[in-house]
Amino acid sequence: MEWNNLLNIVVKNQGLHARFLNTLSFMENAGARKISSCEHPIEVSLLQLKHAAEEHRHAYYLKKQIQKINVNWCLTYNADELLAAVSTKQYLNQLDIKACRLLKQQFNLTGKDLKFAAYLFVTYAIEVRADQLYPIYQEVLSEQKSRVMVKSIILEEAGHLEEMITQLERFSVDWQSVAAQILDIENELHSAWFKALENDTRQWF
Ligand SMILES: [Fe+2]
Ligand SMILES: [Fe+2]
């Protein structure tokens, strides 16, 4: 199955759709927290503050969209209010752990420097994914004339990818070869996450 097939099924079913929005909100929130936790206590840039603020807004915005389906649904991030809860958490954690391991080897970093490098590369990989996923989602929403909308997120995510590339270029001239390896790791984890979403969706029918 492809993303648009899965999303067509999800958007048609209100219970599934609310949980999907909540799952994306959970991920955005985890991403926002990650960015904030990687901030240098003193030397935090305007760009990093902007990025954290926007990811927090995405988490809020997606949660708010659920109210268009049902105001009483998915009030928390409880596992039964998410789709593929275990795999969703694993995707984020594993990406972080595996990226840190690789970056430690490649650049010989520790402590704050490793944290910052992880922020750059992990966020980059997530932005590449977001730039693919949200437009497909919006297309399905428009086709099905859903009241849910993610257009404002798409605009900001495109900006984030550019900003990450700018920061990566400043970090290392050799960033692209390392980024390619991080994208491979992300690809594998994404496949596992997608499979889990498919399985979870099937259980609804
Ligand atoms: Fe986001
Ligand atoms: Fe983003």
Distance CA 6, CA 33 (A): 28
In whole angstroms, how far apart are CA 73 and each of 32, 44, 83, 144?
A: 23, 37, 13, 21
**3-class SS at 91?**
helix
User: Model pTM?
Assistant: 0.95
CA of 160 to the centre of ligand 2 (A): 5
Ligand with smallest separation from the Cα of 160: 2
CA of 58 to the centre of ligand 1 (A): 5
CA of 102 to the centre of ligand 1 (A): 24
Confidence of residue 204 (pLDDT cuts 50, 70, 90): confident
Could you report the per-residue pLDDT of 176-202, keeping only the tens digit for each? 999 999 999 999 999 999 999 999 999
Could you report the per-residue pLDDT of 140-153, keeping only the tens digit for each? 999 999 999 999 99
Ligand with smallest separation from the Cα of 134: 1
**3-class SS at 75?**
coil
In whole angstroms, how far apart are CA 33 and each of 23, 68, 205?
A: 15, 26, 35
Could you report the per-residue pLDDT of 102-123, keeping only the tens digit for each? 999 999 998 989 999 999 999 9
Distance CA 64, CA 20 (A): 13
Closest by Cα among 181, 172, 30, 36 to 100: 181
Could you report the per-residue pLDDT of 52-80, keeping only the tens digit for each? 999 999 999 999 999 999 999 999 999 99
Query: Ion ligand 1 — residues with CB under 5 Å?
Result: 28, 55, 58
